Chain A
Amino acid sequence: MQQRTEKIREAAKRLLAEGAVDVVLGYRAGTVPMREQPFAARSVEEADELVWSSFCCNNLANFLVRRDEKTAIVAQGCVSRNIVGLLQENQIDRKRLKIIGVPCLGMVSRSKVLDKIGNKTVFAVEEQGEELVVKGKGFEERLNRKELLRDNCFTCQHRNPVISDEMVCEPVQDAAGGDIDKMAAPWEALAPEERWSTFKEAFADCIRCYACRDACPLCYCHVCFVDESKPQWCGKTQDEADVQTFHILRAFHCAGRCTDCGACESACPMGIKMRVLTSKIEKDVRQMYGYTPGMDEKATPTMSVYRPNDPQDFIK
């Protein structure tokens, strides 16, 4: 991690000093431990604040849309795939973008760490290889970081950037090791009668803060469907019908585009696992149309094309 941090700073300083870019999008330490935050470094001095750790959970591709400056971005596997997605959708200009690729070892779930230590207040977290040293008042615990990876990082298939201008270190093994077909779409295992109540319960705590939407690089519409008022497709309340409409449609809008970066789940203040929906679509799109989002800049996203022999058994 330390080595990656240094290389990122080095690259950022060089690009800024040469005037190749106006700004470098990266992460800096958060105001509390385990909450690294997006940071736009605009000078060589500011570049010294950039870090890389196991808690870079935001998706920086989110900040590329509608940005006029020449920009460099720090990108791990998923972020690079979202950049590819934005290129496919003509949202960004590759010529004004420099990608600093970071082979990724997966991000750690803050809530899993807190669960593990019994929700005590954490003052600092140090990373020592595969161990996290979590310190707080009167305690110090050594945890295995592999066991605390975010669910999406556990099944990640593309940890190396798929597109980059320079890399900060040697590539890592692409797949994280988790079996994506076993983990995706968990509700398929439920009996059909159980599903609606499970769905209801899983999203019951949603407060409609839209952090999940705002954290997602796919959500760049000028007017989101939840804000449309004439007609109003989705009520604004926390009534379960409105919450369910919001989540079904949000997930659907990500069809064939979601890279399973996990930024939405990491952003949710209520601990809602909205990847149960997106992972189902991701799996369907992979199995029905053989498409993995964000791998090839020249490919057309799967919902914008068709094949004459697409599955249609369900149509009378």
Chain B
Amino acid sequence: MSDKEQFEPRIAAFFCNWCTYGGADLAGVSRLQYPPNIRVVRIPCTGRMSPKFILQAFRQGADGIWVSGCHPGDCHYIAGNMYARRRFAVLKNLLEYVGLEPGRIHFSWISSAEATKFQETVIEVTNAVRALGPAKFMLKDIAPQAQREVA
């Protein structure tokens, strides 16, 4: 238990430039406090999100993933988020089907005006990932091989 209390997750957060990224900015200038566990990657649109990015983040040691973009109807590119929604649904189901814990991967719609929703969601996402502990799957353990090469 004490292990889990000390554990601070690293969460890869992919934010759409036109909304959630602005929402995060507004949360910042409004001095809203939120946990410092997210590492933000700015993307042009959630429609640009590829499952490759999500797997890559896990492979590089992220404990959780969060993708956030514009509310349906508000996409800067008209419908990028609507296409993304289908992809996220299928991908999330597939990842959970092979054993990813449901609380590791999160999606949200947050506009650039919703600083409070942003703050609440960071807290929710961070708590969910923290409760699960460190992610252990899809990590490439190269230590044994590296040792052999040295020896």
Chain B residues whose CB sits within 8 angstroms of the CB of A251 once the complex forms: 94
CB pair B59 A241 closer than 8 Å: yes
- A314 in contact with B92 (CB, 8 Å): yes
Bound: A233/B52 CA distance, A: 6
> Considering only CB atoms, which chain B residue lies closest to A303 in the complex?
B86
Give the shortest distance, in Å, between A309 (CB) and chain B (any CB): 9
**Docked-complex contact A241 and B109, CB < 8 angstroms:** no
Q: How far is the CA of A277 from the CA of B124 in the complex (A)?
A: 30
A157 CB-CB contact with B under 8 Å: no
- Total chain B interface residues with beta-carbon distance under 8 A: 39
A199 nearest CB neighbor, chain B only: B98
Cα distance, A67 to B124, chains bound together (Å): 53
CB distance from A184 to the nearest CB of B (A): 11
Q: Judging by beta carbons under 8 Å apart, are B55 and A249 in contact? A: yes
With contacts A192-B101, A196-B137 taken as known, whether A308 is within 8 angstroms of B94 at the C-beta atoms is no
What is the bound-complex CA distance between A247 and B120, given in angstroms?
A: 35
State whether the Cβ of A289 lies closer than 8 Å to any Cβ in chain B.
Answer: yes
B10 → A minimal CB distance (Å):
17
Q: Please determine whether B97 and A196 come into contact, CB atoms closer than 8 angstroms.
A: no
Tell me whether A187 and B98 are in contact (CB under 8 A).
yes
Main SS at interface, chain B: helix
A314 to B93, CA, bound (A): 10
Q: Enumerate B63-122 residues with CB–CB distance to A below 8 Å.
A: 72, 79, 82-83, 85-102, 106-109, 121
Does B148 touch A at the CB level, under 8 Å?
no
**Are A314 and B88 touching (Cβ within 8 A)?**
yes
A185: which B residues are within 8 A, CB to CB?
A: 97
The residues of A that contact B52 with a CB separation of less than 8 Å are: 225, 233, 249
Contact at A306–B55, with CB atoms within 8 Å?
no
Q: Does B139 contact A (CB under 8 A)?
A: yes
Are A277 and B94 touching (Cβ within 8 A)?
A: yes
- B-binding segment of A105-113, A148-156, A173-181, A278-286: A278-286
B138 within 8 A of A: yes
Q: Is A188 in the interface zone, CB < 8 Å from B?
A: yes
Write the nearest CB–CB distance from A253 to chain B, whole angstroms.
9
Give the docked Cα–Cα distance between A213 and B151 (Å).
37
Taking CB atoms, residues of chain B closer than 8 Å to A196 are 98-100, 137
Q: Which of A281, A310, A316 contacts B124 (CB 8 A)?
A: A316
Main secondary structure of the interface of A (DSSP, over half): helix
Do A248 and B86 contact each other (CB < 8 Å), given the known contacts A314-B107, A316-B109, A316-B121?
A: no
A308 to B96, CA, bound (A): 25
| Complex contact A241–B138 (CB within 8 A) | yes
Q: Are A316 and B59 in contact (CB under 8 A)?
A: no
Which of B90, B102, B107 touches A316 (beta carbons < 8 Å)? Answer: B107
- The residue of chain A having its C-beta at the shortest distance from the C-beta of B138 within the complex is A241
Q: Can you offer 25 A-B residue contacts whose CB atoms are under 8 A?
A: A192-B102, A193-B99, A194-B99, A195-B98, A196-B100, A196-B137, A225-B52, A235-B140, A241-B140, A244-B138, A245-B59, A248-B94, A249-B51, A249-B55, A277-B98, A284-B90, A288-B89, A303-B87, A303-B90, A306-B86, A308-B82, A310-B89, A312-B72, A315-B108, A316-B107
B interface residues with partner A (beta carbon < 8 Å) = 51-52, 55-56, 59, 72, 79, 82-83, 85-102, 106-109, 121, 124, 137-142
Contact surface of A with B, Cβ cutoff 8 Å:
185, 187-188, 192-199, 225, 231, 233, 235, 239, 241-242, 244-245, 248-249, 251-252, 255-256, 277, 280-281, 284-285, 288-289, 302-304, 306, 308, 310-312, 314-316
Given contact pairs A188-B97, A197-B99, A314-B107, enumerate 18 new A-B contacts (beta carbons under 8 Å).
A187-B97, A192-B101, A198-B99, A235-B140, A241-B138, A244-B137, A248-B95, A252-B90, A255-B90, A277-B98, A280-B93, A281-B93, A285-B90, A288-B90, A310-B82, A310-B85, A314-B88, A315-B85
Pairs A-B, 5 closest by C-beta atoms: A196-B99, A195-B99, A316-B108, A306-B82, A241-B140
